[in-house]
Every structure is written in C-alpha cells, then in structure tokens.
Amino acid sequence: MADTAAEKPKPAAAKPPKANTTGRRPDLATLSGIAVALAGIIGGLLLEKGSLQDVAQGTAAMIVLGGTLGAVLVTNPLDTVLRAFRALGDVFFEHGTGASSTIDLIIQFATKARKNGIVSLETDAAGIADPFLKKALNLAVDGTDLQELRKMMDTDIALSEQRAEADAKVWESAGGYAPTIGIIGAVMGLIQVMKHLEDIKEVGHGIAVAFVATVYGVGSANIFFLPAGNKLRARMHQATLMKEMVLEGIVGIVEGLNPTLIRMKLEAFNQPQPAKKKVSTSPKAKEAASKSAAAGEPVSAVN
C-alpha cells in the first residue's frame, strides 16, 4: 500500500524577492534638449535665408571630430576613453528602477531577518540583480563586523565615483578641445582661400565655408560634449545616493532595527518635493489673518 500510495507533492521553495526593475528607458530630457538646440540653430539659419548646404561640410566635420578625438586620446588613458564611450548609454537612457522599489525590497529582507535571523537571507542574496546590494547583503549574512562592512562598502562607493568622474572628464575635455580645433579648421580654410584672391566671388564663398569648422567645434562642445559630461556626473550623484541608501538599510538589518524604523530612515533618501500650501483668499480667511496680525501672532496659511 505504501508503494502504491501517491507521494505528497513537496511545497515549492519560496523565491527570493526581487526589485521591481523595469530596465532602461530613453531619457527624454537629453533627446528633447538636443532636438530643441538643433531646431533653434537650424531654424535661425533658415529664417536668415540660409540653407543646410551652407553648414553641411564633411571636411570641416572630419577636422573637428578627428582632431578632438586625437586630443582626447592624448589627454586620457585608452581604457578610460573606451569606458567613457560605453557610458554614453547613461546619457541617452535612464534606469527604470526607483528608490521606492529598492526600499520595499530592503524592508522585506529586514522583516525576514527579524523573524528568522539574518542567516535566512543567504538564499535571497543569490537572486539579487543589484551587485552593490548583493555584496552588502552577503557580507552581512557572513557575519562581517559592522564597521568593517561599512568601510568596505564606502570604499566601493568611492571607487565608483572616481570611475564615473573620469568618464565625465573625458567628455568635458572633448568640449574644451573642440572649439579650438574648429578654429584650426577655419584657419586652414582661410589659407586655401588666400591662394585664389584673384576671384573675389570665390574668396567670399571660401571664407564662409572656412568658418563652418568653427560652428562645428563650438556647436558640438556646447550641445553635446559638455552637457554629456554633466549628465554623467548627475547620474553618478544619483547612483551614489542610491548606494548610500542601500548601505543604511543593510546596516539597519544587521543592527536588528524594526523594519518600520528602517523604512523611515530610508524614506529620507526618497523625499518628494514639498507641495506649496495654498493661501485661501476667502473673506473669512482675510479677516482671520488681519486679526492675527493685529494681535502680533504669526499668520499661517489656511487651506
């Protein structure tokens, strides 16, 4: 009978909670900013009876972009330049995971650790996608001293900031070199113009073409290179803030704090902008405000 009896199905193992990741989405600020800048410049050109052919010069673009790339390679190590090119994705795309989903995940870990002990989070750590959170939680599960854990993760944050800062400086250096390379291109064009001074009409056309390199240099620096460096730096600050929030959450779990207290601490990293209070303009509100002012009391906003 025991052999023929159907075996009872074993309960499925609980899957570790995962952060609510939505991948990467296009950064509308970057895309719309570039579009608005180009539309303004090209629109102004067309309103001045110009044409796109006036600024469409392949040789000028080759001089500016090639010269700028060469100067950047001289300034920065090759691996840093390659990493900066790979980081361009962070300029055009932003991560969909917000602080709220990360806070919820940490609170789930804190609740489980409070009930079953911090060692029970060992299986959960294996399913975490965020490498920083995964490393911090593994150190906590392994019983790493709290001060040593904080020191190691602070070092991780500092090194990440240094790498991101180096990437941003690559694009900032490109923004510094491009206008100067553009001037070099303009001078080279003028040299060619000076060879044909016998034809005044060609001289005027040649001078106009020569200055296209300056337009490319100044435009690329101020529309893309410098803004890209600043955007990477903004991403770095955002990532650092998120890592500091994660570290505070893990430290709270190790200390055995109540999950409610941990949430209150972490919500400070995700504070929304305070809404402005609306001051009522009703006659009763005005009368109450005038009485308070006469009595020397502070006037408060009335909703």
Over the stretch 207-217, which tens digit does the pLDDT of each residue have? 777 889 999 99
**88-129: per-residue pLDDT in tens?**
999 999 876 678 888 999 999 999 999 998 898 988 888 888
Confidence label for 198 from pLDDT (cuts 50, 70 and 90): confident
Q: In angstroms, how far is the first alpha carbon of the chain from the final one?
A: 76
CB atoms < 10 A from the CB of 103, how many? 21
| Lowest mean pLDDT across 94-108, 132-146, 177-191 | 94-108
> What percentage of the chain has pLDDT greater than the value 90?
52
Statement: residue 142 has pLDDT above 70: yes
Q: Are 109 and 121 in contact (CB under 8 A)?
A: yes
Please list the residues that pair with 25 across neighbouring strands. Answer: 94
For residues 180 and 279, what is the distance between their CA atoms, to the nearest angstrom? 54
**Closest to 192 (Cα-Cα) out of 215, 216, 212, 218:** 212
Mean pLDDT in the chain? 82
CA angle 141, 143, 148 (to 5 degrees): 115
Q: What is the pLDDT of residue 125?
A: 87
Percent of the chain with pLDDT over 70: 81
Return the amino acid letter for 264. Answer: M
> What is the distance between the alpha carbons of residues 167 and 181, in angstroms, rounded to a whole number?
21
Adjacent-strand bridge partners of 93: 26
- With 70 as the cut, is the pLDDT of residue 292 above it? no
The pLDDT value recorded for residue 94 is: 86
CA dihedral for 69, 73, 77, 79, sign (positive or negative): positive
Structure-token pair, residue 130: 């965020």
- Band (pLDDT 50/70/90 cuts) for residue 301 is very low
- The rounded distance, in Å, linking the Cα atoms of 80 and 74 is 12
Selection from 10-24, 92-106, 116-130, 268-282 with the highest mean pLDDT: 116-130
The dihedral through the CA atoms of 58, 62, 64, 65 has a sign that is: positive
Asked whether residue 279 carries a pLDDT value surpassing 70, the answer given is: no
37-41, 275-279, 286-290: lowest mean pLDDT where? Answer: 275-279
> If you write DSSP's letter for every residue of 150-219 in order, what string do you get?
HHHHHHHHHHHHHHHHHHHHHHHHHHHHHHHHHHHHHHHHHHHHHTTTT-HHHHHHHHHHHTHHHHHHHH
Q: Look at 8-17, 97-106, 148-157 and tell me which has the smallest mean pLDDT.
A: 8-17
- The pLDDT assigned to 20 comes to 43
Tokens 């005038």 label which residue? Answer: 290
* Sign of the C-alpha dihedral computed for residues 289, 292, 294 and 299 taken in this order: negative
> Using alpha carbons only, what angle is made at residue 229 by residues 84 and 99, rounded to the nearest 5 degrees?
90
Contact 152, 251 (CB under 8 A): no
Which has more confidence, 240 or 205? Answer: 240
Q: With a cut of 60, say whether residue 282 has pLDDT above it.
A: no
Read off the pLDDT of each residue in 5-21 and give the average, rounded to a whole number.
45
The pLDDT value given to residue 262: 92
The residues near 132 (Cβ < 8 Å, ≥ 6 apart) are: 153, 156, 243, 246
Look at the pTM and tell me if it is higher than 0.85.
no
Note whether 299 and 289 are within 8 A (CB). Answer: yes
Higher pLDDT, 297 or 80: 80
Q: Which helix (H) or strand (E) holds 94?
A: strand 93-95
pLDDT given at position 178: 96
pLDDT at 24: 77
Q: Show the tokens assigned to 142.
A: 């392994």
Tokens describing residue 295 = 């009595």
Please give the pLDDT value at position 245.
Answer: 93
95: helix, strand or coil: strand
